Structure 1
Amino acid sequence: MHLIDRKDFGLLVLRLGTGGVLFAHGAQKLLGWFGGGGIEGTTQAMEHMGFRPGRPSAIAAGLGEAGGGALLALGLATPAAGAAAAGAMAGAVAVHAPSGFFAHGGGYEYPAFLGFAAAGLGLAGPGRYSLDHLTCHRLDKSVTVLLAFAMSATAAAAVVSRRTAAVAADAAAPASAESGQDEPTEPEGPTGVA
């Protein structure tokens, strides 16, 4: 007879590692911890990357990472935590995708791995050594898994689509300015101010 179930212990280790890394990244964004830019720096970075408006995007990314990571580590509301973290990582993958797969070239390898690990934990469940287990899995039901992942996938698809359109518009703006095709402007009002 084993004192510790290997599968449940493995899930605990994976939850602590994945959740801890996600929490740290989210804390950088929200609080400026661990050398991060905090909410103001993250807002500017999000705007620069095409996530608009920047502040709500910064808050959503930070909460998805920090909140999802903390909940994963604790094993509480594991499906929602995994889905939220995976959704946040989908946005990061979109940013890094033009640089290819491998992280050493700026690619999406690292956020994809974190997203898959978080999603896997959300789908598999937290195991016995978790708060979900202590609460009789009240927040870890099959319907929660379906709803959490459907909502996260829908939100991530909308955010990434909106960002893709913003990046394309930003790329087209200098081209139209160089060709002399400026955006139409509104006529000036009677005081000379548009």
Structure 2
Amino acid sequence: MGRRKDLGLLAVRLGTGGVLAAHGAQKLLGWFGGGGIDGTGTFMESIGFRPGKASAIASGAAELGGGVLLAAGLGTPAAGAAVAGGMAGAVSLHWPNGFFATAGGYEYPAYLGYIATCVGVTGPGRYSLDRLIGYRLDRPPLVLLSFVLSAAGTAVVVARREKMLADQRREETPPVAP
């Protein structure tokens, strides 16, 4: 890969990783006007991700940890997969609102997950910590394992939320008289 492409990958990693890390810091640390673990946990609980505090920690860690690792180009497949899984969970939340973010849709988390997936699969490029350590954390088997585990974990979390919301809707629906 040429130096120009490596610089492009570096720019994508730094920009995307920085945005993700900031969102994760909101969730975990309460920075940048975020709710921190307690506030985010309460919100997560209210939208069906239970237990709320554990969901806040998982979501914040995927964003903060995944974002920092993507930006640094370290453990790139695992970082990309963690972010992709976290963003898939966010997409499931915004899905009913349609595509565009202006209507509360899933456009933004889908795009962040897409970029993280592309970087996780492509690799971090020359200007990365993965390269500095000889790409030991950026090998094809790790790419496959990372994305399979992330997809499986995300599927379980989203399915649990969907079931809980369906059960909740059934409980709230008044019985129909015969």
TM-score range, shorter chain: over 0.9
1:133 equivalent among 118, 131, 134 = 131
Pair 1:79-2:52 in alignment? no
Asked if 1:147 corresponds to 2:148, the answer is no
* 1:61 match: secondary structure: helix
User: Match for 1:48 among 35, 46, 69?
Assistant: 46
CA RMSD of aligned residues (A): 1.3
2:169 is matched with 171
Q: Secondary structure at the match of 1:19?
A: helix
Which structure's CA Rg is the greater one? 1
Moved over 2 A (4+): 178-181
Alignment-mate amino acid for residue 179 of structure 1? P
Query: For the residues of structure 2 that align with 1:171 and 1:16, how far apart are their CA atoms?
Result: 42
> More helix per residue: 1 or 2?
2
Q: What residue number does 1:9 align with? A: 7
Equivalent in 31, 34, 39 of residue 33 of structure 1: 31
CA distance in structure 1 between the aligned counterparts of 2:170 and 2:50, rounded to whole angstroms: 17
Provide the TM-score with structure 2 as the length reference. Answer: 0.96
Q: Show the counterpart of 2:160.
A: 162
Deviation at residue 180 of structure 1 after TM alignment: 8.6
Post-superposition offset of 1:55: 1.2
Partner of 1:124: 122
Question: TM-score normalised to the size of structure 1?
Answer: 0.88
Write the letter of the residue equivalent to 1:164: E
Measured after TM superposition, the shift of residue 170 of structure 1 is: 1.8
Q: Deviations over 1:62-101 (max 9, x none)?
A: 0001000000000000000000000000010000000000
Paired letter, 1:14:
V
Unpaired segments ≥5 residues, structure 1: 182-194
Matching residue's letter, 1:151: L
- 2:67 paired residue number: 69
Identity %: 61
Partners of 1:166 and 1:148 in 2: how far apart?
27
Instruction: Find out whether 1:104 has 2:98 as its counterpart.
Output: no
After TM superposition, give the deviation of residue 172 of structure 1 in Å.
1.8
Quote how far apart the aligned CAs of 1:179 are: 2.8
**Structure-2 separation of matches of 1:65 and 1:179:** 42
1:39 and 1:149 map into 2 onto residues whose CA distance is 26
Distance 1:51 1:28 in 2: 18
Cα distance in 1, alignment partners of residues 163 and 81 from structure 2: 24
**How many Å apart are 1:23 and its aligned residue?**
0.4
For 1:187, the equivalent position in structure 2 comes to none
